[in-house]
A and B are shown apart, each in its own frame.
Chain A
Amino acid sequence: MWVIGVTYQSPDVDPIGLNKKVEMEDLGLPVKQVNTMHVYYIQSNATKEQIEKACKELLADPIIQDYTYQQDTNSLQLAETSSWLIEVKNKPGVTDAVGESTKKGLETLGLEVDQVHTAFTYSIEGQLEEEQIKQIAEKILANPLIQEYKYVRK
């Protein structure tokens, strides 16, 4: 199992983060910054070189994005500066269309892949209480009908 995280080099080029920040402000919450990361959980015995290639050629845009990857882990420890981290992903059984396309893309690059799941993490800077983080998760980031979320405080 490989976990790949793709982040933006600067918050100015992170359109989803910028949008979500405005929505959090609409809720009246004191948010300073939101950084997003696309996360790919890849079930594969691929080599480090293959994963590096996949990041470069398929998953990250080298102009504005950075990537990082780890093997044999279930979560990525990133975004050291943020005070909260929320991860949103589809509930089991809900079609992960991005995951399916990623699997096909990886196979085209010559990797052998069993399955790909995707998730989205939001690292949020600001003086926020746990209740407010739940509110953000449910009102803005996740649709509880089809998605689940978890959060950690730094």
Chain B
Amino acid sequence: MKPKQIQITSANEQQLITISKKGLLSLSKKEMKAIQKYYQQQGREPTDAELETIAQTWSEHCIHKTFNALIDTPDGQIDSLFKTYIFKATNELDKKWCISVFKDNAGIVKFDDEHAVAMKVETHNHPTALDPYGGAGTGTGGVFRDVMGVGAKPILSTNMLFFGPLDIPHTQLPPGTMHPKRLMKGSVAGIRDYGNRMGIPTANGGVAFDQGYIGNPLVYAGTVGIMPKNKYICNAQSGDLILLVGGKTGRDGIHGVTFASVELEETSEKTSSGAVQIGNPVEEKKTLDGLLRARDCDALPLYSAITDCGGGGLSSAIGEMGKELGVEVHLDKVPLKYAGLEPWEIWISEAQERMILIVPPENKESILEIFKNENCLATIIGKLRNDKKLVLYHEQDKVAELEMSFLHSVPKITRKAKWKKIEEKEPNLPEKITYGEDLKKILRSPNVASKEWVIRQYDHEVQAKTVIKPLQGKAQGPGNACVLKPKYDSWKGIVISNGVNSKYSENPYNMTLSAIDEALRNNVCCGGRRIAILDNFSWGSPSNPETMGALVKACEACYDGAKGFDTPLISGKDSLHNEYKVKGKTMAIPHTMVISAIGIIPDIRKAITMDLKKPGTSIYLVGETLDELGGSHYFMVNELTGGKVPGVNLARAKKTMDRLIEAIDSELILSCHDCSEGGLAVTAAEMSFAGGLGMTIDLEHVPTNLEREDKILFSESNSRFLVEVTNEKKFEEKMKELPFAKIGKVTQEPELKIKERRSLDPNIDDKKKLVINEKIKDLKNEWEATFKW
């Protein structure tokens, strides 16, 4: 099989574009021209393997073109979103407990003196659109490998899923798309089978729905891992061997990375079969077992560096590993599922369950022995050089020879950003006498409704580390975050939470701050502190200036939020081009910003759940309720748009969370739940039915300038907590200078009673009418009805 040459040195612009399109390379005109220039200087034509390698390395997936781009905004030029916002915040915060940020496959922070925790969140949107079971499953398997790729053992799987509305009739679906219900069932099954079969608990996550995801569902998969601090190693030397471990290589997932930068079209479902990956969790489990033995069998790991094969396959993994030294690979050595693969296909295949270890020659025999014992394939396929060149062989033929300096010198692109005017016009909505029906509607709405159908399919107990679980309280309500106790001989725990609300996407800056605030307050509710966050973007096409502008605003909010909350960003992921073309019209997803937070709790015995515990105790609301109903569920169930998207008062939010942690540590709190979708009313309902108890609230005491009861009940203002307090005096002392008030108490009687703000006769409190008066059982039934599948 002689390498094929591709004629580009004499091609004109149009031909260059055609070459890129036909080969599914996703390279732009500017990039093709840079490649052309390189080969003109070399005086030869590129081979197919070389061109593929460049396309993979320069793809959005691998080098984050947009985040490194020059961006022209109405307020001047920005040189790289990474440098200007994301990395900058982390650099400025300069936390000693951050061990590796934005460098490896996963972010790594200190856990205790011996151990570190690693976390990574990935997106797997396009593959899931085509094959939900395989796409979501391999997304999960892929992010496990990201964490394994720093030498950590996965101890938690988390995921965030976004689909179109479940009740859309089949006839209204754009051609070539699957029904949201099929996508959801398939994705959940894929995540379930991968996590459960590998023995990794899936104990945290979320599902949300919006019209905008019909043509383009989103799947975020995240993993937390733990490792001994001294086993983190990255010390490859020239002469070290390249060891490929795990699954065999087939034609699966070819062009997955470059495909991710293409808009989905009606025909995508039929033409991009190569882009689908098939998962095999059992294979990955064996790889993990071998890897952990190779890591722990001696004082130092048997490998000198490690990474996983994800997007771009061997080309990305090995290209990155050999960046500083140079590398040669003999592609014919790679074990194949079946014969007949072209060398370039072997090189870029995204076949799953494969990892790359760099092994010093003296450890070769012992590491091969380990993987042999685990019944896991391990093959030496090449070695590191010292001439900074990437050289590929297939049998006797040299199929590629590229200089690393060229391969990693991606032409900088320029993007244009425009600010979209933010509409905050208040809709017209008459006041009502009672709001029980609105509350029920919100509880039924799929974003808020119980996800027990999903949760119960996942094994969240395996490994026996899960302390605080997805459903909490004797009557089971939705938890804030997940708490893990990773070590048997220590009470110290890890707290993992998420924040996202794409209904706020009209105002991307506030949306991002809200997501950060939500992730942090969920974490704080359980007792998490010293929190690090991960930024995960899913956006439409950045070549649209308004979409790009929204991305800039979101990054700005990441910087402000990280600085304001004193919480470093440690890892991230961007999936752009989430668009879908139907009948020539492009539909983009709502900007979706998922913030994942990982905190520490010194003693898991002090962790707090959200269910009400004790009749008679007082309920406090901490935080101010503002006129912020833009993107709220209250507006949504009343079919209204407009309004102000919630913002964050950073200084006050930070102080609130710090004080709350002090109160948790001083054991002043019995239960705590944050106010998010659906506002105060939903929070109160959830706490009540989780504990099987009731609650009375008087709206008069709520810290707010608002007069309208519906706004107080359903505003989604950030940084608010509903807290069941045991020691009122001490709690009030802790909270002083912050907006807070005692607004009600826990009752034995299982009913939620909320009194109006003003009564006609201020002296007769009893005469106050109830704006909400519902049986807890009824509220719970509403909450559970939607997903009784």
A associates with B = yes
Contacts of A23 in B (CB 8 A): 181-182, 185
Q: Shortest Cβ distance from B362 into chain A, in angstroms?
A: 32
Contact A146 B182 (CB under 8 A): no
* Chain A CB within 8 A of B21 CB: no
Q: Which of A97, A139, A144 contacts B280 (CB 8 A)?
A: A97
- List residues 124-152 of chain A with CB under 8 A from any CB of chain B: 139-140, 143-146
Q: Shortest Cβ distance from B337 into chain A, in angstroms?
A: 6
Contact B252 A95 (CB under 8 A): yes
Contact A95 B270 (CB under 8 A): no
Q: Which of A90, A94, A97, A145 contacts B269 (CB 8 A)?
A: A145
**In the complex, A3 Cα to B178 Cα: how many Å?**
33
Q: Known interface pairs A101-B282, A139-B182. Does A94 touch B252 (Cβ–Cβ under 8 Å)?
A: yes
* Chain A CB within 8 A of B170 CB: yes
Q: Shortest Cβ distance from A32 into chain B, in angstroms?
A: 20
Contact A95 B337 (CB under 8 A): yes
Interface centre among A19, A27, A143, by most chain B C-beta atoms within 10 angstroms, is: A143
**In the complex, A22 Cα to B185 Cα: how many Å?**
12
Q: Shortest Cβ distance from B748 into chain A, in angstroms?
A: 39
- List residues 255-294 of chain B with CB under 8 A from any CB of chain A: 269-270, 272-273, 276, 278-280, 282-283
Contacts of B276 in A (CB 8 A): 94, 145-146
Contact A93 B338 (CB under 8 A): yes
**In the complex, A101 Cα to B193 Cα: how many Å?**
14
Contacts of A93 in B (CB 8 A): 250-251, 338
Contacts of A146 in B (CB 8 A): 131, 134, 273, 276, 278
Contacts of A26 in B (CB 8 A): 181
**In the complex, A146 Cα to B252 Cα: how many Å?**
10
Contacts of B179 in A (CB 8 A): 139
* Chain A CB within 8 A of B143 CB: no
Contacts of B131 in A (CB 8 A): 143, 145-146
Cβ-closest chain B residue relative to A108: B375
- List residues 86-132 of chain A with CB under 8 A from any CB of chain B: 90, 93-95, 97, 100-101, 104
* Chain A CB within 8 A of B789 CB: yes
* Chain A CB within 8 A of B51 CB: no
Report how many residues on chain A are interfacial, defined by Cβ distance under 8 Å. 19
Cβ-closest chain A residue relative to B277: A95
Cβ-closest chain B residue relative to A95: B278
Q: Known interface pairs A22-B789, A139-B179, A145-B269. Does A97 touch B279 (Cβ–Cβ under 8 Å)?
A: yes
Report how many residues on chain B are interfacial, defined by Cβ distance under 8 Å. 27
Contacts of A144 in B (CB 8 A): 269-270
**In the complex, A101 Cα to B353 Cα: how many Å?**
14
- List residues 114-156 of chain B with CB under 8 A from any CB of chain A: 130-131, 133-134
Cβ-closest chain B residue relative to A93: B251
Contacts of B269 in A (CB 8 A): 144-145
Q: Which of B130, B270, B272, B280 contacts A100 (CB 8 A)?
A: B280
Contacts of B133 in A (CB 8 A): 143
Q: Shortest Cβ distance from A15 into chain B, in angstroms?
A: 11
Cβ-closest chain B residue relative to A91: B273
Contacts of B789 in A (CB 8 A): 22
Cβ-closest chain B residue relative to A26: B181
Contact A145 B252 (CB under 8 A): no
Contacts of A140 in B (CB 8 A): 182
Cβ-closest chain B residue relative to A140: B182
Q: Shortest Cβ distance from A99 into chain B, in angstroms?
A: 10
Contact A27 B170 (CB under 8 A): yes
Per-residue interface assignment for chain B, residues 231 to 253, with 1 indicating a CB less than 8 Å from any chain A CB and 0 otherwise = 00000000000000000001110
Contacts of B185 in A (CB 8 A): 19, 23
Contacts of B273 in A (CB 8 A): 145-146
**In the complex, A82 Cα to B252 Cα: how many Å?**
36
Q: Shortest Cβ distance from A125 into chain B, in angstroms?
A: 22
Cβ-closest chain A residue relative to B352: A95
**In the complex, A93 Cα to B283 Cα: how many Å?**
18
Cβ-closest chain B residue relative to A28: B170
Q: Shortest Cβ distance from A103 into chain B, in angstroms?
A: 12
**In the complex, A94 Cα to B278 Cα: how many Å?**
8
**In the complex, A37 Cα to B276 Cα: how many Å?**
25
Contact B170 A139 (CB under 8 A): yes
- List residues 749-789 of chain B with CB under 8 A from any CB of chain A: 789
Interface centre among A90, A93, A139, A140, by most chain B C-beta atoms within 10 angstroms, is: A93
Contacts of B337 in A (CB 8 A): 95
Per-residue interface assignment for chain A, residues 1 to 25, with 1 indicating a CB less than 8 Å from any chain B CB and 0 otherwise = 0000000000000000001001100
Q: Shortest Cβ distance from A83 into chain B, in angstroms?
A: 23
**In the complex, A19 Cα to B189 Cα: how many Å?**
12
**In the complex, A93 Cα to B341 Cα: how many Å?**
11
Contacts of A22 in B (CB 8 A): 789
Interface centre among A22, A93, A95, A104, by most chain B C-beta atoms within 10 angstroms, is: A95
Interface centre among A26, A97, A101, A144, by most chain B C-beta atoms within 10 angstroms, is: A97
**In the complex, A139 Cα to B176 Cα: how many Å?**
11
**In the complex, A143 Cα to B130 Cα: how many Å?**
8
Binding site for B on A (CB under 8 A): 19, 22-23, 26-27, 90, 93-95, 97, 100-101, 104, 139-140, 143-146
11 contacts between A and B (CB under 8 A): A90-B278, A93-B251, A94-B276, A95-B351, A97-B280, A97-B282, A104-B375, A139-B182, A143-B133, A144-B269, A144-B270
In addition to A95-B337, A97-B282, 16 A-B residue pairs with Cβ atoms within 8 Å of each other are A22-B789, A23-B181, A26-B181, A27-B170, A93-B338, A94-B278, A95-B252, A97-B283, A140-B182, A143-B130, A143-B131, A144-B270, A145-B270, A145-B273, A146-B134, A146-B276
9 interchain residue pairs of minimum CB distance = A97-B280, A95-B278, A145-B273, A143-B131, A146-B276, A101-B282, A145-B130, A145-B276, A95-B250
